[in-house]
Amino acid sequence: KSKVNVKTIVKMKGREKIAMITAYDYVSAKLVDSAGVDIILVGDSVGMVAHGFTSTLPVDMAMMLLHLSSVTRAQPRALVVGDMPFLSYEASIEEAVRNAGLMMKTGADAVKLEGGLEYEETVKALVKAGIPVMGHIGLNPQRALLIGGYKKRGVSEKEREKILEDAKALERAGAFSIVIEYTSADVAKEVTEQVSIPTICIGSGPWCDGQVLVFHDLLGLSENPPPFSKQYANLKEIITNAVRSYVEEVKTGRFPEERHYFIEKKD
Ligand code: KIV
Ligand code: NA
């Protein structure tokens, strides 16, 4: 199968559901790509699930580029999207273009940023520079402090209208797809029906054009998975058991075995 590009993703709307997952390094990128995902997101969630931060706010460009370069060296077939971290695109359009450009130079196929209507001009400028953009509306974890935490979105009528406006602004600005996070499923459905670009949902119901999950949540490696994630395997248990066996074999002298070492003949 050939490399996925943004046109491939746009054409999937209404035809085939889009499967997106995060990955943060070479090994996980190889694994998820061989499992057949359409999009790999190098998400700023890396700060929480791999670096132990309690929010995504401390994540910076240096951290993102290090993880992104590890992922792109796996040369995935999937589209690779680099997540714009907090303070990499908000202060000015010029900073946004420069930072998104660094993502592209590191091998990203597109970037994602949190926001809709307020970032319409920023998205336009990125697209003008040749950088494909994925929007992110509904719950925006980088701005969770404004609403008192990781709250459900699309609850009040005002919020529902705003989410629809955000989606339309992103479409107008030339975004190729939109992530909708933790939003009432009927609102996500309406957005999906009203825009021509694919919607990719997390915690926003089944009526989107695709779904996204965080690698560590899906595999049972997260300490605090969100209520809307699904765990498909318990790697925590598998890994802990394997390492426990190793520790025990070292302690009891059962490892290494003869085939794991050599005795060089003296001459
Ligand atoms: O950083 C991330 O993993 C994300 C997804 C949850 C969409 O932004
Ligand atoms: Na993110």
Is the pLDDT at 173 greater than 90? The verdict is yes
To the question of whether residue 166 is assigned a binding role by annotation, the answer is no
Q: Please return the burial class of 183, using the count of CB atoms within 10 Å of its CB with bins 0-12, 13-18 and 19+.
A: buried
In 3D space, the residue among 85, 1, 9, 7 whose CA is nearest the CA of residue 40 turns out to be 9
Q: Is the Cβ–Cβ distance between 22 and 78 less than 8 Å?
A: no
Which residue out of 44, 113, 200 has the highest number of ligand 1 atoms within 8 Å of its CB and is therefore the one to mutate? 44
Work out the pLDDT band at 201, boundaries 50, 70, 90.
Answer: very high
To the question of whether residue 38 is assigned a binding role by annotation, the answer is no
Work out the pLDDT band at 19, boundaries 50, 70, 90.
Answer: very high
How far out from the chain centre does Cα 153 lie? Answer: 19
> What's the pLDDT score for residue 195?
98
Q: What is the mean pLDDT of the chain?
A: 98
Work out the pLDDT band at 205, boundaries 50, 70, 90.
Answer: very high
Is the pLDDT at 262 greater than 90? The verdict is yes
Which residue out of 84, 214, 215 has the highest number of ligand 1 atoms within 8 Å of its CB and is therefore the one to mutate? 214
ipTM above 0.90, yes or no: yes
> What's the pLDDT score for residue 1?
84
Q: Which residues line ligand 1 (CB under 6 A)?
A: 22, 41, 43-45, 83, 179, 202, 212, 214
The percent of residues in the chain predicted with pLDDT above 70, rounded, is 100
What sign does the CA torsion over 144, 148, 153, 156 have? Answer: negative
> What's the pLDDT score for residue 16?
98
To the question of whether residue 114 is assigned a binding role by annotation, the answer is yes
Give 247 Cα–ligand 1 centroid separation in angstroms: 35
Cis check: omega of the bond before 198, within 30 degrees of 0: no
Closest Cα to atom 2 of ligand 1: 43
| Topology adopted by domain 6-260 | TIM Barrel (3.20.20)
Give me the mean pLDDT over the 232-241 stretch: 98
Closest Cα to atom 5 of ligand 1: 43
Q: pLDDT, tens digit, for every residue of 180-199?
A: 999 999 999 999 999 999 99
DSSP run (H or E) holding 178: strand 177-181
> What's the pLDDT score for residue 44?
98
Work out the pLDDT band at 257, boundaries 50, 70, 90.
Answer: very high
Q: pLDDT, tens digit, for every residue of 35-47?
A: 999 999 999 999 9
pTM as predicted: 0.97
> What's the pLDDT score for residue 89?
98
Work out the pLDDT band at 267, boundaries 50, 70, 90.
Answer: confident
Nearest-atom index, ligand 1, CA of 200: 7
Q: Domain extents for the chain?
A: 6-260
Is the pLDDT at 13 greater than 90? The verdict is yes
| Of 221 and 223, more confident | 221
Work out the pLDDT band at 265, boundaries 50, 70, 90.
Answer: very high
Give 217 Cα–ligand 2 centroid separation in angstroms: 14
Give 267 Cα–ligand 2 centroid separation in angstroms: 62
Tokens (6 digits) for 218: 């899906």
